[in-house]
Chains A and B, each alone.
Chain A
Amino acid sequence: MAKITLDKLRHSYMGDPKGPEDYALKEINIDWQDGGAYALLGPSGCGKSTLLNIISGLLQPSEGRILFDGKDVTGLPPDQRNIAQVFQFPVIYDTMTVYDNLAFPLRNRGVDEARVKARVEEIAAMLEVTEMLRTRASNLSPDNKQKISMGRGLVRDDVNVVMFDEPLTVIDPHLKWKLRSKLKELHQRVKVTMIYVTHDQTEALTFADQVVVMQDGEVVQIGTPVDLFDRPAHTFVGHFIGSPGMNVLPAELRDGRAFFMGEAVALEGAVAPGDGRHEIGVRPEFVSLAERGLRATVRKVMDLGRHSVIDVVAGDTRISAIVEGDVPGQGEAVHLAFRPDQTRLYRDGWIATEKGRAA
């Protein structure tokens, strides 16, 4: 178990990177505390798997250092870093029994058989695979195979970190939530640092204490699930997390006040001075129907039971709103109101309003 520090980490798959666009990973500085549950969240191709492979040592970074408990491990191969990794597709040793599969990482490190037996049985009990221990691993169903893969990751109790690379991809939807809650439960029991890579916001938000959101090889925000939802630091985070995502509206800034389609919009706080492309960000949860204010036309209404998601168009900008109770019909003209303390200004994608004080 260890604290993990990524120090000025950069990686390029090209031999001779010229500009920042040649880097699959732009400069990354992260401190992960010992025993935490972290998620790396981002769309496919954002560099999260690259980052994971660098931490596990399967890939050497072009620049920067990786520290485990302050010790530089950048040059060490995977087996000397004392880590465990669970892959996207189940990796099991076909010819071995489930027991031997789980024992494999321990036996390779010369752990004595009595200790191996104790650990394997403990992990098997946690994963509820005890009755399968004697069967051959090749005969298991895909979700059980993935459970065994996870078990091999968790069987060593001295690992610095256990990493999961989209481990639930091959699992049937109805079993996903089961394994996910199992994993969360396991983390609370074993208290090992865990890093979970996924493009699925639900998986990330339910598993992790801290979520690292990545886009185009860059870390855009690190925070608790609540932070990411309440105050996205970047329009990408606002858009990627939440269903539907945050509304991002083109805005103009005049004398420190924001305007959308000529209407002044109240923001959560003062705007930092500067110049650039401005956008207003407000989540559908904080858009409501009002007597007057911004004019819009209803395009579509989706009744989700407890509430409805309304798709409206103001000018040519689409806005989603989540409303409870009576909903207007399709094609009807409505007025919209944004809750000021949840309405923010973004400059070139990044948040530009100060928290709290109303303007």
Chain B
Amino acid sequence: MRKVNQKGWFFVLPVLILVAFNALVPMMTVVNYSVQETFGDNVFFWQGLDWFQQILRSDRFHAALGRQFLFTGMILAIEVPLGVIIALSMPRKGFWVPVCLVTMALPMLIPWNVVGAMWNIFTLPDIGLLGYLMNHTLGINYNMTQDPVAAWITVILMDVWHWTSLVVLLCYAGLVSIPDAYYQAAKIDGASNWSVFRYIQLPKMKQVLTIAVLLRFMDSFNIYTEPFVLTGGGPGNSTTLLSIDLVKIALGQFDLGPAAAMSLIYFAITLFVSWLFYTLMTRNDAK
């Protein structure tokens, strides 16, 4: 029998301590809060699963969750096909490659709260470029602080502007790894452009596309800073996504118990949907 070197465990220890302090301990604190009630002074009362039941039955939570799924669904439906199309139309060789790559990477380099502030100013009806153009030049009434539809369009546009590049760059990486011989063979086999996409480009992009979808799902499902800076969840509650609502409950109302329960439910949903995506997108690979 092979002797296993148990000393290896010691090397994992530092990471374990780090993870414990930045993830496990805070997480357990949240679990602790989620089953208790406190009125301050560090006095706690056992509450069982009451908070969970309350959150799961609350209309407010359902509404925020619905908005969250709507938001994530819409940005995925736009960013993934758009990213693939942009990646397909980018040049593979020559002078324009670095130009395109850098241009694509630029939005991702901007901090999230700056993106929110930028779009906020951009859409101001009186001085913002877009706001002024819409209201005063084109004569279309556009004010996202009053109109929920305008607010939604702006939030979605902002995310598409900020994050489509990620899908583009990942897909592009997959595309450039295809040897020329595949395209030449396809030409000789008489394949149509659609067949080339369906049987050569898409299969090669599949792995990176899986990563892109997962990253975009997780990021957009947990999105906070950008919409918070842009709309603050308004007008009314129309753009109050899950994370914004959670912060309102936890820090605005200081309802720590329900907020902790909501965090755990939120976390479980994110985890489950990520697992679902991953399983569905990789299920054919093993065959």
Report A108 CB to chain B, min CB distance, Å.
4
Contact with A along B182-203 (1 / 0, CB 8 A): 1011011111100100011001
Q: How many residues of B contact A (CB 8 A)?
A: 17
Q: A89-B179, A93-B200 are in contact. Are A108 and B184 (CB under 8 A)?
A: no
Q: List A contacts of B200 (CB < 8 A).
A: 93
Contact of B187 with A104 in the complex, beta carbons under 8 Å = no
Contact with A along B207-240 (1 / 0, CB 8 A): 0000000000000000000000000000000000
A84 CA / B185 CA spacing, docked (Å): 8
A91 partner, pick from B185, B195, B203, beta carbons under 8 A: B185
A353 on the interface (CB 8 Å rule)?
A: no
Q: A93-B199, A93-B200 are in contact. Are A105 and B187 (CB under 8 A)?
A: no
Report B203 CB to chain A, min CB distance, Å.
5
Q: A91-B182, A93-B199 are in contact. Are A85 and B192 (CB under 8 A)?
A: no
A326 CA / B181 CA spacing, docked (Å): 53
Q: List B contacts of A79 (CB < 8 A).
A: 187-190
Among B188, B192, B287, max chain A CB count under 10 A is at: B188
Chain A, range 37-57, C-beta contacts under 8 Å to B: 53, 56
Q: A79-B190, A89-B179 are in contact. Are A108 and B195 (CB under 8 A)?
A: yes
Contact of A84 with B181 in the complex, beta carbons under 8 Å = no
Q: A88-B181, A89-B181, A96-B199 are in contact. Are A108 and B192 (CB under 8 A)?
A: yes
Q: List B contacts of A96 (CB < 8 A).
A: 199
Report A77 CB to chain B, min CB distance, Å.
7
A53 CA / B183 CA spacing, docked (Å): 13
Q: List A contacts of B199 (CB < 8 A).
A: 93, 95-96, 104
Contact with A along B1-32 (1 / 0, CB 8 A): 00000000000000000000000000000000
Contact of A85 with B190 in the complex, beta carbons under 8 Å = no
Contact of B203 with A78 in the complex, beta carbons under 8 Å = no
Q: List B contacts of A104 (CB < 8 A).
A: 189, 191, 199
Contact of A109 with B179 in the complex, beta carbons under 8 Å = no
A108 partner, pick from B181, B189, B203, B287, beta carbons under 8 A: B189
A246 CA / B202 CA spacing, docked (Å): 52
A87 on the interface (CB 8 Å rule)?
A: yes
Q: List B contacts of A152 (CB < 8 A).
A: 185, 189
Chain B residue at smallest Cβ distance from A159: B188
Q: List A contacts of B185 (CB < 8 A).
A: 85, 87, 91, 149, 152
Q: How many residues of A contact B (CB 8 A)?
A: 25
Q: A89-B179, A89-B181, A136-B287 are in contact. Are A109 and B188 (CB under 8 A)?
A: no
Q: List A contacts of B204 (CB < 8 A).
A: 94
Q: How many residue pairs between the two chains, A and B, have CB atoms under 8 Å in the bound complex?
A: 54
Contact of B184 with A58 in the complex, beta carbons under 8 Å = yes
Q: List A contacts of B191 (CB < 8 A).
A: 104, 108
Chain A, range 251-267, C-beta contacts under 8 Å to B: none
B188 partner, pick from A85, A94, A95, A139, beta carbons under 8 A: A85
Report B281 CB to chain A, min CB distance, Å.
13
Chain A residue at smallest Cβ distance from B187: A78
Among B181, B184, B187, B189, max chain A CB count under 10 A is at: B189
A24 on the interface (CB 8 Å rule)?
A: no
A345 on the interface (CB 8 Å rule)?
A: no
A83 on the interface (CB 8 Å rule)?
A: yes
Report A134 CB to chain B, min CB distance, Å.
11
Chain B, range 127-183, C-beta contacts under 8 Å to A: 179, 181-182
A272 CA / B21 CA spacing, docked (Å): 93
Contact of B181 with A91 in the complex, beta carbons under 8 Å = yes
Report A3 CB to chain B, min CB distance, Å.
20
A53 CA / B182 CA spacing, docked (Å): 14
Report B195 CB to chain A, min CB distance, Å.
7
Q: List A contacts of B189 (CB < 8 A).
A: 79, 104-105, 108, 152
Chain A residue at smallest Cβ distance from B195: A108
B190 partner, pick from A89, A108, A136, A139, beta carbons under 8 A: A108
Chain B, range 37-53, C-beta contacts under 8 Å to A: none
A139 CA / B184 CA spacing, docked (Å): 22
Contact of B187 with A77 in the complex, beta carbons under 8 Å = yes
A152 CA / B187 CA spacing, docked (Å): 13
A37 CA / B200 CA spacing, docked (Å): 31
Report B23 CB to chain A, min CB distance, Å.
38
Report B202 CB to chain A, min CB distance, Å.
8
Subset of 7 A-B contacts with CB under 8 Å: A56-B184, A58-B188, A78-B187, A104-B199, A105-B188, A108-B189, A108-B191
Given contacts A105-B188, A105-B189, 12 further A-B contacts (CB under 8 A): A56-B188, A78-B187, A78-B188, A79-B189, A85-B188, A87-B184, A89-B179, A93-B200, A104-B189, A104-B191, A108-B195, A152-B189
